[in-house]
């Protein structure tokens, strides 16, 4: 659900960068503490898979897109902070190499997808995984898809209210929450089912190895 460059106001992306900078610093320390011979290569190939899945995008009427992410899988295997670092790096590479997403929207995308999505995935997995492993994995994939969609829809939907001309015309993203929430979140409720199934399949496969 990348937000393209140019649709978020400085009032949004400047504070988002400040917030993300602190989170990136903490994630970098966590990554260096756990750096060993297996983590880096495993993280790289999982990021590459997420990158390939994220490259397939479908525009939505609300001005954004849907795609698979693999964030639930990364979060269950590596935890939220390393996933946040990896997803941030993938988003940066996507913006700079493929022109998907952008620099001004990077912190919002990273916080929503990388931190919000992975934290929700880990929480869902820990709560439901105690009862049933597969239910926990499904919840991880579903939440990693739906929560970022809600966050991104919220950020987009407040743009007309926080950045507009004197006569009320929008300066950045033009649609309010009444449009962005259904346009972005509803498709992701369905996409999350596919992501949940993919998470069950892939993590179960990885655990058998």
Partner 1 sequence: MRDRLLLIGYAAAVIAATSVHDPRWLAAGLVLALLAAGRDAPRLLRRTLLAMLAFSAVVSVGYVVAGLLAGNLNPEYLIRINIRVCLLTFLTSLLVARVDFLRALNFWPAASYLATLILSQVVTFRRLFDELRQAADSRRLRRLPLREGYAQSAGAVVHLFDKAERTAGEIALAMRSRGFFAPAGPDARRH
Please count the residues of this chain forming the interface with partner 1, following the rule CB under 8 A: 66
Per CB under 8 A, does 89 bind partner 1? yes
- Tokens 């409720």 sit at which residue? 189
Residue placing its CB nearer to partner 1 in the complex, 127 or 189: 189
> Of residues 18, 21, 52, 162, which one binds partner 1 by CB under 8 A?
52
**Do the Cβ atoms of 69 and 144 come closer than 8 Å?**
yes
Residue from 158, 170, 177, 186 binding partner 1 (CB under 8 A): 170
**Can residue 177 be called a binding residue for partner 1 (CB under 8 A)?**
no
Question: Is the Cβ of residue 127 or residue 161 nearer to partner 1 in the bound state?
Answer: 161
Extended beta strands in 37-153, E state = 58-59, 65-66
Please report whether residue 190 would count as binding partner 1 according to CB under 8 A.
no
> Does 99 sit near partner 1 (CB under 8 A)?
yes
| CB 179, CB 62: distance < 8 Å | yes
User: What is the secondary structure of 36-51 as a DSSP string?
Assistant: -TTHHHHHHHHHHHHH
Q: What is the largest CA-CA distance in the chain?
A: 62
């Amino acid at each position: 659900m990348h937000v393209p460059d140019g649709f978020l106001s400085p009032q949004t992306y400047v504070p988002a960068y400040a917030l993300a900078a602190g989170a990136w610093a903490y994630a970098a320390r966590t990554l260096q503490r756990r750096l060993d011979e297996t983590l880096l290569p495993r993280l790289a190939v999982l990021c590459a898979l997420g990158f390939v899945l994220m490259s397939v995008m479908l525009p939505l009427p609300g001005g954004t897109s849907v795609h698979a992410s693999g964030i639930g899988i990364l979060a269950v295997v590596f935890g939220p902070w390393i996933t946040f670092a990896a997803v941030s790096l993938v988003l940066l590479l996507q913006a700079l190499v493929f022109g998907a997403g952008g620099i001004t929207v990077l912190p919002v995308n990273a916080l929503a997808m990388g931190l919000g999505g992975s934290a929700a995935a880990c929480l869902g997995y820990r709560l439901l995984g105690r009862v049933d492993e597969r239910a926990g994995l499904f919840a991880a994939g579903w939440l990693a898809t739906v929560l970022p969609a809600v966050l991104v829809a919220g950020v987009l939907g407040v743009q007309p209210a926080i950045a507009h001309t004197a006569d009320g015309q929008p300066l950045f993203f033009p649609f309010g929450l009444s449009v962005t929430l259904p346009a972005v979140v509803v498709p992701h409720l369905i996409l999350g089912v596919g992501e949940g199934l993919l998470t069950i399949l892939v993590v179960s496969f990885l655990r058998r190895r």
